Amino acid sequence: MFLKILVPLDGSDTAECVLPHVKLLASADKNVTIDFIYVVAPLDAPMIDAKYRKKIETESRQAAADYLKRLITKSGLKEIARPIVAPGKVADTISDYAARNKQDLIIMATHGRSGVSRWFYGSVADKVVHESHTPVWLVKADSSCKSSYSANRRLRILVPLDGSTVAESVLKQLKEINRQLPASKLDIILARVCEIFSTPVGYPPPLSMNWEEYLAYEKKRCRSICLDYLSGIQVKLAKAGIKARIEILEGNPAEVLIDYIDKNAIDLVIISTHGRTGFSRWAFGSIAEKVLKGSNSPVLLIRAK
């Protein structure tokens, strides 16, 4: 379960968009603890006298501590949260802290304040995902900060799979979420994309058929493979007490996933940062990255070992 949660913040309202997600997990189990961490980066101003540099850095750390204390009080998480102010390079410090303290999850925004230490995708969040072995729950901060978690609404979770055991590594985290949140609040969707290439390797087929007939044949065969695979995963999850439904999509993996996410108001996408080798591998910098950039839904990225 996600009992030890690390929440990096930078003092901006934008970065605080993660709070609804933090509260959702915190409310689900009495043993959850939250570490709000604010990393104070080294002052990049070599012309400033050492005496004043030290004064500025001390004041920055104190301001960060005051901010975190106010935030914890305002968030209503005072009983389970603690403020952590740490000096150093932002991404490195977050990753090191998570590893050293054996955090179960990092929840952070993909954008933050402007300036030297701004948190934008391709910088801090990107580095944390690459450096940390801790699962990272990323919230796209330029989307609405309002919580979509209402008492009468089920949490829609999309789990895209590609048929590889590497991509299936996310199922462990899915089981943890299922343990932490009431099953009645979850709507779990297993998805696989059926890709039809422009010229199938086996064409022409041994049977006599035109191109349109063969394309229809390939689509049917592809959907059958996807259905058999997802049904097998569905049965395994059912044995673990997890109810899930199946979706088979067709087309370019990233494009159809993003379209499905936006049209179906998905609350969380759980995806591995690596998948099978080859054309449609699910690697960070490929499909997982495109889904994160292209959709407004939070994405839980699991770094496959």
**Domains identified in the chain and CATH numbers:** 4-139 (3.40.50.620), 155-302 (3.40.50.620)
Q: What tens digit of pLDDT does each residue of 264-279 get?
A: 989 999 998 764 443 3
pLDDT at 132: 84
> Are residues 138 and 284 in contact, defined by beta-carbon separation less than 8 angstroms?
no
Residue 115 has pLDDT above 70, yes or no: no
Percent of the chain past pLDDT 90, that is, above it, reads 42
Q: What tens digit of pLDDT does each residue of 198-240 get?
A: 555 555 556 666 767 777 778 888 899 999 999 999 999 999 9
pLDDT at 200: 53
pLDDT at 208: 66
| Residue among 120, 180, 141, 122 nearest 298 (CA) | 141
Distance CA 302, CA 305 (A): 9
Least confident residue range of 16-30, 55-69, 108-122, 175-189 = 108-122
Higher pLDDT, 165 or 100: 100
What does the pLDDT average to over 38-47?
Answer: 76
pLDDT at 282: 46
